[in-house]
Structure 1
Amino acid sequence: MRLKDKVAVVTGAGRGLGKGIALKLAQEGAKVVVSDIDINNASETCKEIQQSGGQAIAVQTNIAKREDVEQMFKEASEKLGEVDILVNNAGINRDGMLHKMSDEQWDQVIAVNLTGTYYCTQTAAKVMRERQYGRIINIASASWLGNIGQANYAASKAGVVGLTKTAARELASKNVTVNAICPGFIETDMTRGVPEKVWDIMVSKIPAGRAGKPEDVANLIAFLASDEAAYITSEVINVGGGMIL
């Protein structure tokens, strides 16, 4: 129960990796704001936490809209308390080769993955600076180093890394840490939908010999969110079974 009575916001927590993170933080004692653009998915995650004896609320949030983000933090404060932990997990992809990519594909990904992360981080930073305490963990990606067919996604995640390092420098003196995690090939509803041949190719590139599970990422987040990680900030940590060099 390293996070007992801490209030944690997890964006994109309705399913997949975000759901795994929310469940783990609740298991560690945190009161969790389950944020997702799909309120039905958010409610299901919230229900699982509550059935396990944890505290949680579900909040429908489009993080690409500042007013949604501000409302989410307001609800968190009113119902659970001021936010101690923020996990910026929500993200989308709209893949396409650079020469064929539309402005809409570019704008959608940047709006959610980068601008949305900025809105959440900025809102959290205002609260955390005043309280002289906070943990911000951003989900980046190995693609921040570049990936064919993902110019928009790679640019957004590279931006998240830059935002992480800048925020970490600005907030360190306020006892607020900011770190980024780059998950590798993680087994979720989305990745399980890829053809078996593609799955096998991806797994063959992983020295550990298997796809990761949401809890592999969630375990690290629980540590970074705890007081045990108080002296760790501005880091970009790979969780990929050795796949990410």
Structure 2
Amino acid sequence: MNQDQKRVAIVTGAARGIGAAVALRLAAEGHAVGVVDLTEADAAVTAAAITAAGGQALALGADVASEAEIVAAIGRVTDELGPPAILVNNAGFARDADIADMTNEEWDAVMGVCLNAAFYATRAVQPHMVAARWGRVVNVSSISALGTPGRVNYSAAKAGLIGFTKALAFELGEHGVTANVVAPGFVVSDMTAKTARLLGRDFGEHQEIAARSIPVGRVGYPEDIAHAVAYFTSEGAGFASGQVLYVAGGPRD
């Protein structure tokens, strides 16, 4: 990457898993990265890995469901690294329950982190992108957007991200800003490990079972998702906007 192509990126939920892989990949592309997670100490692990590899990173602690905290984190990135040109809204978590048993708190908590946070962060960074007439917003959804039993909150939030992204693509396209969705399938992560525990399965066995239903014959890894995000944030992806890319080892409707 040429020096004039280096940009500032922000990745939420970047302490581990998909978020960490995305942050590391964007740093490898030459971008300075604002690494955001719930605590600065957690974010610092990924930031340290970036700097150890010769990159530039800033660790930030923020509850992304809080508008005040995410706006403050973006302000620090702007002050210390420069105006953000790339935003990856990756933060998310699940609180599973059938709808009959799901509480308002479980609904609101998932909506706050998985959907509201993307709104707060995107609204805060878009003035910088519009002013520069260049920007990339990538929202990490899930195949759960197509519906998953026991996850009406998570499915609704991840489906909401898709509609949010398509509207952004219409609104911001004339300003040189693209917005796209990466929707992972089964990816080795803390979330899928938790599911295995709830089912009483060894995590290795859980992965083997999942792989049998995936056309490519294997489960996904955080780096698989990072590859897709890297494309959507690239200079060459300027004509791709409002798209949903299922990175799931096979086709999805």
**TM-score when normalising by structure 2:** 0.93
Contact 1:2 1:226 in 2 (8 A): no
Matches within 5 A, 1:179-190: 179-190=180-191
Say how many residue pairs are matched: 245
Structure 2 gaps, min length 5 = none
Residue in 2 aligned with 1:212? 220
Residue in 2 aligned with 1:226? 234
**CA separation in 1, counterparts of 2:252 and 2:47?**
32
| CA-CA distance at 1:2 after TM superposition | 7.5
Matches within 5 A, 1:1-245: 1=1, 4-193=5-194, 194=196, 195-196=201-202, 197-242=205-250, 244-245=252-253
Structure 1 gaps, min length 5 = none
Change (3 A) 1:119 1:2: farther
| Deviation by residue 1:64-114 (Cα, 9 ceiling, x = unmatched) | 111111111111111110001000000111010011111111010011111
Contact 2:93 2:191 in 1 (8 A): no
Secondary structure, aligned partner of 2:78: helix
Secondary structure, aligned partner of 1:179: strand
| CA-CA distance at 1:243 after TM superposition | 5.9
**CA separation in 2, counterparts of 1:179 and 1:165?**
7
**TM-score when normalising by structure 1:** 0.96
**CA separation in 1, counterparts of 2:222 and 2:206?**
20
**CA separation in 1, counterparts of 2:100 and 2:29?**
46
Secondary structure, aligned partner of 2:100: helix
The two structures, once aligned, show a CA RMSD in angstroms of 1.4
**CA separation in 2, counterparts of 1:8 and 1:103?**
34
**CA separation in 1, counterparts of 2:113 and 2:2?**
30
Structure 1 runs of 4+ with >4 Å offset: none
Percent identical: 39
